[in-house]
């Protein structure tokens, strides 16, 4: 830690360092030094095989926003004393530092509709402001990240070759996943549709990735590791996945996992307040599908990881990823049951 902080001209003994946030992939700390506060992150390079691409994207996005939308509050990385945007340690670990945005705060759960609206507006705004970037200039930091077809194939592989005891104990869950396979076919049609556009998407639109000001107005979005070319269903769907239910993906009492329709309305109105003119009629006809797509993919990813002995997400107890998968399947069922009602939510 000392070597990393030294690279930024900070003295470890003078810093107050504490673990921060609840992400599953990267490690994050809050570092305070005198009146300055920073966020330090270690990038998981088992997952992000080329951390340099992340830094490259952040530079490209920062440059575009500064030039075309100078009013946007963009969190620039802190550079090392020799002007690099990451530190690579002797062990091959990647670290980066950002300022902690003063007078900002974030949330781990969405407990009022206004927050859902604001967050959705921020993610919509982010994509809209970047609509002038040629998506070919944005690097793919995680190949096939939201490729549902591939995720499904990996799931079937894991059913065949994964931990046999775990596979045997999850027969019902496997059936449920197979029952919803039609969602992968809709995804294939989207990939071939001229009415779906590839845009710069965030790909991790949980509420904790939005900064709010003292009045709970959104300031900006953060955690740009997964910013890549993609479809709007990734961002819109992940908001449905993480804002609709009063209980998170960690909840094991599945009776608490359900869709709050008012929150759906808030996401729709917040997102479309920025993206209405950007999205085609066909895209707007796939709002509810977006949620099914993301929740289904997350269920598949958790269950696949369970069969593969938790090698990706890790687990705090034996059935952790199985229960996470069941939580997501409960949410998928709830969205699917209410598909008609949700689809009729008026957009304005």
Nearer to ligand GN1, 8 or 29 (CB): 29
Which chain residues interact with Mg ion by CB under 5 A? Answer: 204, 223
CB of 167 to ligand GN1, least distance (A): 22
Nearer to Mg ion, 208 or 334 (CB): 208
Nearer to ligand GN1, 12 or 25 (CB): 25
- The option from ligand GN1, Mg ion, none interacting with 298 (CB < 5 to 8 A, set by class) reads ligand GN1
CB of 18 to ligand GN1, least distance (A): 18
Nearer to ligand GN1, 154 or 226 (CB): 226
Three-class SS state of 345: coil
- Dist. CA 297–CA 275, nearest whole Å: 24
How is 9-55 classified by DSSP, letter by letter?
A: T--GGGEEEEE----SSSEEEEEEETTEEEEEEEE-TTTSS-HHHHH
CB of 204 to ligand GN1, least distance (A): 5
**DSSP state letter for 207:** G
CB atoms within 10 A of CB 66: 12
CB of 22 to ligand GN1, least distance (A): 7
Is the separation of the CB atoms in 148 and 191 below 8 Å?
no
- Nearest CA to 139 out of 77, 64, 69, 200 is that of 200
**Position closest to ligand GN1 via CB:** 25
- The option from ligand GN1, Mg ion, none interacting with 47 (CB < 5 to 8 A, set by class) reads ligand GN1
Enumerate the H helices of 215-260 as residue ranges.
Answer: 232-243
Which chain residues interact with ligand GN1 by CB under 6 A? Answer: 23-25, 47, 204, 226, 249, 298
């Amino acid at each position: 830690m000392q070597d990393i902080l030294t690279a930024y001209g900070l003295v470890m003994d003078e810093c107050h360092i504490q673990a921060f946030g609840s992400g599953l992939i990267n490690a994050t700390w809050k570092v305070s030094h005198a009146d300055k506060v920073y966020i330090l992150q270690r990038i998981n390079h088992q997952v992000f095989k080329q951390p340099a691409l992340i830094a490259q994207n952040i530079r490209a996005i920062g440059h575009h926003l500064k030039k075309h939308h100078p009013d946007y509050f963009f969190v620039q990385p802190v550079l090392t004393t020799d002007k690099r945007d990451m530190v690579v340690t002797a062990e091959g670990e990647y670290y980066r530092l950002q300022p902690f945005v003063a007078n900002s705060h974030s949330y781990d759960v969405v407990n009022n509709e206004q927050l859902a609206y604001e967050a959705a507006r921020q993610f919509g705004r982010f994509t809209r402001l970047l609509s002038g970037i040629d998506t070919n200039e944005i690097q793919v930091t995680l190949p096939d990240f939201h490729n549902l077809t591939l995720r499904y194939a990996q799931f079937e592989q894991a059913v065949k070759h994964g931990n046999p005891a775990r596979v045997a104990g999850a027969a019902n869950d496997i059936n449920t996943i197979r029952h919803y396979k039609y969602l992968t076919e809709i995804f294939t049609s989207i990939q071939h549709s001229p009415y779906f556009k590839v845009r710069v998407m965030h790909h991790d639109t949980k509420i904790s990735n939005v900064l709010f000001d003292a009045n709970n107005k959104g300031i900006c979005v953060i955690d740009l590791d997964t910013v890549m070319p993609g479809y709007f269903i990734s961002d819109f769907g992940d908001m449905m996945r993480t804002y609709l239910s009063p209980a998170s993906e960690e909840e094991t009492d599945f009776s608490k996992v359900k869709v709050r329709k008012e929150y759906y309305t808030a996401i729709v109105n917040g997102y479309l307040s920025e993206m209405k003119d950007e999205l085609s009629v066909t895209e707007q006809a796939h709002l509810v599908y977006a949620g099914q797509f993301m929740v289904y993919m997350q269920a598949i990813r958790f269950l696949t990881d369970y069969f593969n002995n938790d090698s990706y997400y890790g687990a705090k107890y034996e059935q952790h990823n199985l229960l996470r998968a069941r939580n997501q399947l409960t949410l998928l069922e709830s969205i699917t049951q209410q598909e008609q009602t949700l689809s009729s939510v008026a957009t304005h």
